[in-house]
């Protein structure tokens, strides 16, 4: 309730209203007892509880990943264990309660290992990774460009490689952008004072196709089919077939380009100027084109 992590929200009312995925994202559910209550509730119904897995004590006022770069910069840091300890605890609770559990923006090699082991044991566990955790390691943070400040932080190259491998072998089910637009006055400030977050929705498919290429079936599964299945939105993430709703993203995997503009009102993104392979040519909702060549359809159609 209120994302304070003290009291359970009215999950029954949310469930009645159609909500199937529950999270305090932005904050961790740090209290194991509260997490168990939420899991107990959902275990009997079938919804999924998702976690922003960052232990508050270990993360404290940390700004970046704890490692060589944080030593070099002398900046307060967040160890990988801040994520891994929460995931380890939650997996035990998922086993105890039988609830479906989802890890948001997975960022550590240890997390990938634990998810793989939990799946082998038969737990109903899923995980997502962001395009930026696949694309960048914490060497980018050494520039102290606030565009690279995110939570969880960009980690070392070993973690990034483990995330790419996890996405490839299916340990990581889905890509989710953790899209976080910010006003310039919150982001164009010294690194220590900048807000966490990246806008990435416009280029997510292109970034993943560039830095962690997959075979077509795996690509569309991780980008669309699995996210919809995890979130419980049966209208979405369907393969193209007669009778299925035409909610589509038309993707050209061979298109090479460099994004130079955004249609977002926020510009806190590291992707402008980055060479990408693959491009969403159009998006379609209920059979109507909603965006084409990177612009909302109304603009694109009059040009």
Residues of this chain that interact with Zn ion (CB under 5 A) are 25, 52
* 178 counts as catalytic: yes
In this structure, the number of other CB atoms found within 10 A of the CB of residue 75 comes to 17
137 or 178: CB nearest Zn ion: 178
107 or 209: CB nearest Zn ion: 107
Phi, psi for 21 (deg, rounded to 5): -130, 130
- What would the DSSP string read from start to end of 140-169? GGGGT-GGG--SSPP--HHHHHHHHHHHHH
Question: Is the Cα torsion angle 225, 228, 229, 233 positive or negative in sign?
Answer: negative
- Which own/partner contact pairs does 41-45 have at CB distance under 8 Å and 24+ positions apart? 41/8, 41/11, 41/12, 42/11, 42/99, 42/100, 43/97, 43/98, 43/99, 43/100, 45/15
Bridge partners, residue 65, by sequence = 78
52 or 149: CB nearest Zn ion: 52
Query: For residues 282 and 291, is the Cβ–Cβ distance under 8 A?
Result: yes
Per annotation, catalytic residue among 145, 178, 186, 215: 178
25 or 31: CB nearest Zn ion: 25
Phi, psi for 291 (deg, rounded to 5): -150, 145
Q: Closest CB to Zn ion belongs to which residue? A: 52
| Cα–Cα distance, 187 to 289 (Å, whole number) | 33
Q: How far is the CB of 35 from Zn ion (least distance, A)?
A: 15
Quick one: angle between helices 32-43 and 81-97, nearest 10? 40
Residue 68, token pair as written in the block = 């060589």
Q: How far is the CB of 256 from Zn ion (least distance, A)?
A: 32
Q: How far is the CB of 26 from Zn ion (least distance, A)?
A: 6
Q: How far is the CB of 89 from Zn ion (least distance, A)?
A: 17
52 or 155: CB nearest Zn ion: 52
Q: How far is the CB of 105 from Zn ion (least distance, A)?
A: 6
Q: What is the CA radius of gyration of the chain?
A: 19
User: What amino acid positions are annotated as catalytic residues?
Assistant: 178
């Amino acid at each position: 309730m209120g994302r304070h992590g003290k009291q359970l929200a009215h999950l029954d009312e949310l469930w009645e209203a159609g909500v199937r995925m529950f999270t305090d994202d932005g904050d961790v559910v740090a209290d194991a007892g509260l997490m168990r209550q939420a899991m107990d509730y959902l275990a009997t119904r079938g919804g999924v509880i998702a976690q922003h897995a960052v232990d508050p004590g270990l993360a404290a006022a940390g700004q970046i990943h704890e490692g060589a770069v944080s030593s070099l910069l002398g900046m307060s840091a967040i160890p990988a264990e801040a994520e891994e300890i929460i995931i380890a605890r939650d997996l035990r609770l998922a086993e105890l309660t039988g609830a479906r559990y989802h890890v948001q923006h997975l960022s550590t090699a240890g997390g990938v290992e634990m998810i793989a082991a939990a799946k082998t044991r038969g737990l109903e566990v899923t995980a997502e990774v962001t395009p930026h955790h696949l694309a960048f390691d914490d060497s980018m943070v050494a520039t102290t460009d606030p565009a690279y400040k995110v939570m969880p932080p960009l980690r070392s190259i070993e973690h990034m490689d483990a995330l790419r491998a996890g996405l490839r072998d299916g340990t990581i089910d889905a890509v989710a952008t953790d899209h976080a637009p910010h006003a310039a006055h919150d982001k164009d400030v010294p690194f220590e004072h900048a807000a966490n977050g990246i806008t990435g929705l416009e280029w997510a498919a292109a970034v993943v196709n560039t830095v962690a290429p997959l075979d077509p079936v795996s690509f569309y599964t991780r980008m669309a089919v699995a996210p919809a299945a995890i979130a419980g939105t049966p209208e979405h993430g369907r393969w193209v077939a007669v009778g299925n709703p035409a909610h589509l993203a038309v993707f050209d995997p061979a298109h090479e380009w460099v994004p130079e503009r955004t249609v977002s009102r926020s510009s806190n993104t590291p992707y402008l100027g980055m060479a990408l392979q693959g491009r969403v040519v159009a998006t379609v909702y209920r059979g109507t084109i909603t965006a084409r060549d990177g612009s909302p359809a109304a603009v694109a159609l009059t040009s």
